[in-house]
Amino acid sequence: MEKKHIAYISISLVGLLFIIRLFYIQIIAEKYQPSPLNNSAVAIKFDYPARGFIYDRNGVLLVANQPSYDVMIIPRDVTPLDTLEFCGLLKITKEQFIKRFEKAKNYSPRIPSVFLAQLSKSNYAYLQEKMHKFKGFYIQKRILREYPLKTAANVLGYIGEVSPAFMEKNPYYKQGELRGITGIENEYEEVLRGVRGVKFMQRNRFNKEIGPYQGGSKDTLATTGKDLTTTLDIELQLYGQKLMSNKRGGIIAIEPATGELLTVLSTPTYDPNELVGRERSKNYAKLKNDIDGKPMFDRGLQAQYPPGSPFKIVNALIGLQEGVVTEDTRFTCYHGYRYGSSPRAFMGCHCVSGTSNDLIRGVYASCNAYFCNVYKRVIEKYPSPVEGIEAWAKHVKSFGFGDYLHNDLYNGTPGTVPDAALYKRMYPNGGWRASTTISNAIGQGEILANPIQLANMTAAVANRGFYYTPHIVKAIDNQPIQIEKYTTPKRTTIDPKYFEPVIEGMFQTVENPGGTAYWSKVPGIEICGKTGTAENFTRVNGEKLQFQDHSVFIAFAPKEDPKIAIAVYIENGGYGSTYAGPIATLMIEKYLNGKTSRPNLEKRMIEASLQNQYDEQLLKTSLAKEKNKHISGN
Amino acid sequence: MRKRKTNILAGIDWVLVLLFLALITIGWMTIYAATIDDNSQGILDFSTFYGKQIIWIGLSFILILILIAIDSKFYERFAGIFYLISMLSLAGLFIFGNEVNGAKSWYNFGEFSLQPSEFAKTATILALASFLNGANRDLTQLKTQWNTILIMSIPAVLILLQPDAGSAVIYTTLIFVLYREGLPAFYLLIGLAIILLFLATLYFGFTTALIIIYSLISLFFFLLVNFKKIQLKREWFKIIAIYLVIGLMLFSVDYAFNHILEQHQRDRFNIVLGKTIDNRGIGYNTYQSMITIGSGGWTGKGYLEGDRTQGNFVPEQETDYIFSAIGEEWGFIGSSIVIILFVVFILRIIQLSERQKSKFSRIFGYSVATIFFFHFMVNIGMVIGILPTVGIPLPFFSYGGSSLWGFTMLLFIFIRLDADRTYEW
């Protein structure tokens, strides 16, 4: 080979090598080919779809949208501006301007982010005319929530700006975007939200948009959020809210045949509109700081109370299922029940001493002694208290106690079903047995449940042995939801045949003049209920304070083919028959008949206020705290 | 004489001239794309890079007319004087020079500045061609070799001292021209061996490289003895010497790399060898440049539509990194065409050199081709991330009057010589 040929070949080879390398960089290796999202010459425009509406079961609008205007910023497009004028227009200080600008720049110099959220309409109109003077800023219309009925804040939830931590886990979201933070807004975020559309616009060197980037091939269309139909009967919920005026507690109503939640009420409540708009953070702080009334605490779903006497229903069913009693088994009540040799080992009862109760009377008279006997027999049926309590707890848990409901509600607590493990912790030296845990017989002691669990238990009784997981959404875009866990019945461990005598007892509770809820009887409706008067204590630095009992009532109606199961729990309301019973039966009447027939009772309930009770309690608690501080101070 | 002059235009190689015009046009357009901004007042805005480049191009055309008008004989006759002036201008930099980016490479004349190293290339190869064209020059002889090396070394050392390592390395590549003109291949092989040893040491480290290379040599001797049946008994002294020399060379490379090269030079090698990945710091230029080229895709984003170029993402994109703008705006197709243009351009110079009857013209032509090729290879190799960062311009593309005139002189002196190729003067 001649030398000149060596030169020709090596030069050509270098050229070829370069072309191969270019082919690799430009065509093959994607790491060298940036996407439009981080391409500086492409303007990104987001198209936010309207968030889905939320309706009640009868099509009443609960959550709608209202327009809001955000000042957006693209930091790299910002040119020197008259900050004084700009800050004046936005009503912010120069320091705030600098802080917000830096924040936006740190997030991304190119991707638009919210500079100032939610302008008032008048502010917007004024600003819109001046906006052209401020390069890099523009106004974006955004959709905020609106709650026409000002109710059900606890279940509906609210939307708010995404946090940096949230964005990191969910890269879909961009800074300043909104998402459902709590409630249905959170649980059904993706359904309600839809998908935002993105338009990529090619810019020239003067930053002017000159047309769609790559012919619009990378653009995506926005998908509108879907509408939700909840299971709530908002008329019933509002009625309950009215009845619960100035009383703390929760009302849960369920349609037993479906598990649909008709009412999910917690009082005191607040207007959901308070958590929308620029006043949001102020109102939020106000609601959060109300540590006595705790309006943001959902008493219906989160409060874990001793269930009290309604729990006797479960114990009666367990007794029948375990075969330790029949419906005819009788126990004599000696104005109470002695469970030990100590003089203090006595649980009082309101029965006249020497009354002999069978199951039905045991239920409707709410005889403590009866259920202590049943409970003791259940536990002692087994060779050891451990096995006894485990068998008992298994039955209890089959009613949905002691665990989250695993449904589509944002809030929830598991409650407590005491089992062998719990008692082993409480009594490390052993020695516990039926009499030690006798409070379980009457729904006091270690067992804790929230009102929705009580309502669910009531639904299971109404269905004679099964329940559907209570849930809040009925349809998405008018298509009934088909979710297996809501359409599959959950069976309790109790045979259906054992329910009839217990239900008869519940029926007699309202029908029988000797029943604890006789005064709540509604003519024409066969209500099966059970009152409860739950003792409650608060510990303040070791000192046990007892407060007025909680007033509890559970019921379902009609007796045959039940349409509604309800649990009403009123903090410090006293006897179950004082407030909870009347309120529950008024709710049932309202739901089944559309109107109520007891105007006086209704008026009395609405006007009743427990505020004095709560104030007194608060005082006692703070005094105890003060005293304790004093003692420890010495 | 008269007759010859009338034939000048006919003798000019218009293919080469057209290639030159194509390169310089695309080059200017790319400078325009790389430096235009919102405040531009049109292409004749002489405060801008592209506006100034128009002046440099205009002046280079005047230079071309002068170069073509001058008699071919003149270049050989005055080569020595050119060389002398050029070397003085390089030496003068140490007294009158102006420091830019840490190197004293520029003379300042008011608004304008000149970089004498760009002209030293022309002067040096003129002197080289003239020397080798003299009587009794024989590159196989030590005396000729020494003199040749001296001619090349003076500018190389002066430039290295500025310091501008990139421009100095160019002179070593002239070894290829010497090989063409009769320098024994042995030297070339030694040169290549040094480069290979250098890279091996850098890549594997001194100890590993030593082990690998000793093993290879041992294997070579083993095969020699066993298969070629060559007796090495009497050669043991030479064999030991080979081992020692190689060991010493590896050691010097290692020593030079770690103690003589500056940290930034070490970094550049390490990045290309893949031993350091640093897309934000020292590797930033290369990474940005590759991203910019990569974003061009098949057909590019269109002229003046390269957002990364318009956004000045690549530092020095109007000088050393100008090829990245071509990659982005013209894509794979466009940048391949530019590479092909360069390859054809260089091949054409070699082809023309080969047809020279005068040894002087041939040596000069080969040197021109070598210099263009070296710039082309090192610059684009750097921009597309396969060679270390060496700051040398891409001929006719990179902004700058001195380099443009330097390259124009190289090319058009050769074109002028070529126009007279039929005469054996």
What CATH number should be reported for the domain holding residue A226?
3.90.1310.10
Band (A634; pLDDT cuts 50, 70, 90)? very low
A266, β-bridge pairs? A250
Interface of B with A in 249-288 (CB under 8 A): none
**Cα B71 → chain centroid:** 27
Report CB contact under 8 Å: A33, B37.
no
CA B345-B350-B353 angle, to 5 degrees, is 125
pLDDT at A21: 93
Band (B3; pLDDT cuts 50, 70, 90)? very low
Here the tokens at position A18 are 């370069």
On average, the pLDDT of chain A sits at: 88
Q: What is the DSSP letter of B262?
A: -
Do A350 and A389 fall into the same domain? yes
Do B63 and B212 fall into the same domain? no
Do B335 and B408 fall into the same domain? yes
Do A323 and A213 fall into the same domain? no
Q: Print burial letters for A593-625: b (CB count within 10 Å at least 16), e (below 16).
A: eeebebeebbeebbebebeebbeebeeebeebe
Report CB contact under 8 Å: A25, B311.
no
Look at residues A34, A33, A31, A64 and name the one whose alpha carbon lies nearest to residue A50. Answer: A64
Is the pLDDT score of A38 beyond 60? Answer: no
Per the document, the length of chain A is 634
Q: Chain A partners of B307 at a C-beta cutoff of 8 Å? A: 39-42, 203
Range of the domain at B28: 2-183+289-419
B337 touches chain A (CB under 8 A): no
Do B378 and B230 fall into the same domain? no
Is the pLDDT score of A362 beyond 90? Answer: yes
Q: Chain B partners of A40 at a C-beta cutoff of 8 Å? A: 307-308, 311, 313
Alpha-carbon distance A322 to A315, whole Å? 10
Quote the minimal CA–CA distance from A45 to chain B in Å. 18
In a 3-state reduction of DSSP, which class is residue A528? strand
In a domain, A27, yes or no: no
Residues 6 or more apart whose CB falls under 8 angstroms from that of B137 comprise B131, B144
In a domain, B269, yes or no: no
Per the document, the length of chain B is 425
Q: Chain A partners of B311 at a C-beta cutoff of 8 Å? A: 40-41
Look at residues B63, B126, B19, B28 and name the one whose alpha carbon lies nearest to residue B349. Answer: B19
3-class SS string, A272-324: HHHHCCCCHHHHHHHHHHCCCCCCCCCCCCCCCECCCCCHHHHHHHHHHHHCC
Chain B: residue nearest A41 by CA? B307
pLDDT at B232: 65
Predicted confidence (pLDDT) per residue in A364-407, tens digit: 999 999 999 999 999 999 999 999 999 999 999 999 999 999 99
Report CB contact under 8 Å: A40, B331.
no
In a domain, B148, yes or no: yes
Is the pLDDT score of A624 beyond 70? Answer: yes
Alpha-carbon distance A169 to A190, whole Å? 15
Q: At what angle do helices A385-397 and A368-380 cross, to 10 degrees?
A: 120
Predicted confidence (pLDDT) per residue in A177-217, tens digit: 889 999 999 999 999 999 888 888 776 545 667 677 766 77
Domain-ending residue, one of A230, A253, A286: A230
Report CB contact under 8 Å: B332, A15.
no
Do B164 and B198 fall into the same domain? no
Is the pLDDT score of B2 beyond 60? Answer: no
In a domain, A496, yes or no: yes
Do B125 and B222 fall into the same domain? no
Do B81 and B132 fall into the same domain? yes
Stretch A80-96: mean pLDDT: 84
Stretch B165-178: mean pLDDT: 87
Do B18 and B129 fall into the same domain? yes
Q: Which ipTM did the prediction report? A: 0.88
* Tally of domains within chain A: 2
Band (B1; pLDDT cuts 50, 70, 90)? very low
Is the pLDDT score of B269 beyond 80? Answer: no
Q: What is the DSSP letter of A24?
A: I
Is the pLDDT score of B248 beyond 90? Answer: no
Here the tokens at position A151 are 């109710």
Stretch A145-172: mean pLDDT: 88
Alpha-carbon distance B140 to A44, whole Å? 68
Quote the minimal CA–CA distance from A448 to chain B in Å. 59
Q: Are B283 and B302 in contact (CB under 8 A)?
A: no
Question: Which string of DSSP letters, residue by residue, matches B54-92?
Answer: HHHHHHHHHHHHHHHHS-HHHHHHTHHHHHHHHHHHHHH
Do B57 and B139 fall into the same domain? yes
Alpha-carbon distance A601 to A519, whole Å? 10
Do B312 and B193 fall into the same domain? no
Interface probe with A: pick from B329, B346, B352, B362, most Cβ of A within 10 Å: B346
Do A172 and A270 fall into the same domain? no
Band (A115; pLDDT cuts 50, 70, 90)? confident
Q: Print burial letters for A492-529: b (CB count within 10 Å at least 16), e (below 16).
A: bbbeeebbebbbbbbbbbbbbeebbbbebbbeebebbb
Do A208 and A357 fall into the same domain? no
Q: Chain B partners of A17 at a C-beta cutoff of 8 Å? A: 386
Stretch A530-548: mean pLDDT: 85
pLDDT at A455: 96
Do A94 and A222 fall into the same domain? yes
Is the pLDDT score of A81 beyond 60? Answer: yes
Burial of A150 (0-12, 13-18, 19+ CB in 10 A): middle
Domain-ending residue, one of A196, A230, A264: A230
In a domain, B78, yes or no: yes
Beta strand pairing call for A228-230 and A54-55 = parallel
Do A257 and A213 fall into the same domain? no
In a domain, B188, yes or no: yes
Burial of B189 (0-12, 13-18, 19+ CB in 10 A): exposed
In a 3-state reduction of DSSP, which class is residue B409? helix
Chain A: residue nearest B301 by CA? A214
Q: Chain A partners of B295 at a C-beta cutoff of 8 Å? A: 32-34, 39
Question: Which string of DSSP letters, residue by residue, matches B142-184?
Answer: HHHHHHHHHHHHHHHHHHHTTT-HHHHHHHHTTHHHHHHTT--
Quote the minimal CA–CA distance from B66 to chain A in Å. 31
Band (A500; pLDDT cuts 50, 70, 90)? very high
Alpha-carbon distance B368 to B131, whole Å? 16
pLDDT at B281: 58
Alpha-carbon distance A237 to A48, whole Å? 32
Quote the minimal CA–CA distance from A207 to chain B in Å. 9
Report CB contact under 8 Å: B294, A25.
yes
Do B374 and B384 fall into the same domain? yes
Do A310 and A404 fall into the same domain? yes
Interface probe with B: pick from A11, A12, A40, A204, most Cβ of B within 10 Å: A11
Do A145 and A292 fall into the same domain? no
A249, β-bridge pairs? A267, A570
Pick from A8, A42, A204: CB nearest B347 = A8
Look at residues A242, A230, A289 and name the one whose alpha carbon lies nearest to residue A268. Answer: A242
In a domain, B391, yes or no: yes
Do A258 and A404 fall into the same domain? yes
Q: How many contacts does A have with B, using Cβ atoms within 8 A?
A: 102
Alpha-carbon distance A315 to A389, whole Å? 12
B176 touches chain A (CB under 8 A): yes
On average, the pLDDT of chain B sits at: 85
Residues 6 or more apart whose CB falls under 8 angstroms from that of A623 comprise none
Stretch A150-154: mean pLDDT: 89
**Which residue bears the tokens 């929530």?**
A145
Q: Are A174 and A47 in contact (CB under 8 A)?
A: no
Do B90 and B164 fall into the same domain? yes
Burial of A267 (0-12, 13-18, 19+ CB in 10 A): buried
In a domain, A8, yes or no: no
Do A222 and A294 fall into the same domain? no
In a domain, B266, yes or no: no
pLDDT at A581: 94
In a domain, A392, yes or no: yes
Q: Are A631 and A542 in contact (CB under 8 A)?
A: no
Pick from B298, B311, B373: CB nearest A11 = B373
Quote the minimal CA–CA distance from B38 to chain A in Å. 6
Share of chain B above pLDDT 70, in %: 91
Look at residues A612, A623, A523 and name the one whose alpha carbon lies nearest to residue A574. Answer: A612
Here the tokens at position B280 are 């934000």
Look at residues B169, B147, B168 and name the one whose alpha carbon lies nearest to residue B90. Answer: B168
In a domain, A7, yes or no: no
Burial of B38 (0-12, 13-18, 19+ CB in 10 A): exposed
Pick from A3, A31, A205: CB nearest B180 = A3
Here the tokens at position B164 are 């501008």
| CATH code, A433 | 3.40.710.10
Range of the domain at A67: 46-230
In a domain, A632, yes or no: no
* Tally of domains within chain B: 2
Domain-ending residue, one of A230, A254, A279: A230
In a domain, A618, yes or no: yes
Alpha-carbon distance B32 to B26, whole Å? 10
Do B305 and B178 fall into the same domain? yes
pLDDT at A11: 93
More confidently predicted of A237 and A113: A237
Do A525 and A406 fall into the same domain? yes
Residues 6 or more apart whose CB falls under 8 angstroms from that of A549 comprise A533, A534, A535, A536, A572, A573, A574, A575
Alpha-carbon distance A193 to A172, whole Å? 12
pLDDT at A214: 67
Question: Which of A456-470, B251-265, B364-378 bottoms out in mean pLDDT, i.e. has the lowest?
Answer: B251-265
Do A222 and A280 fall into the same domain? no
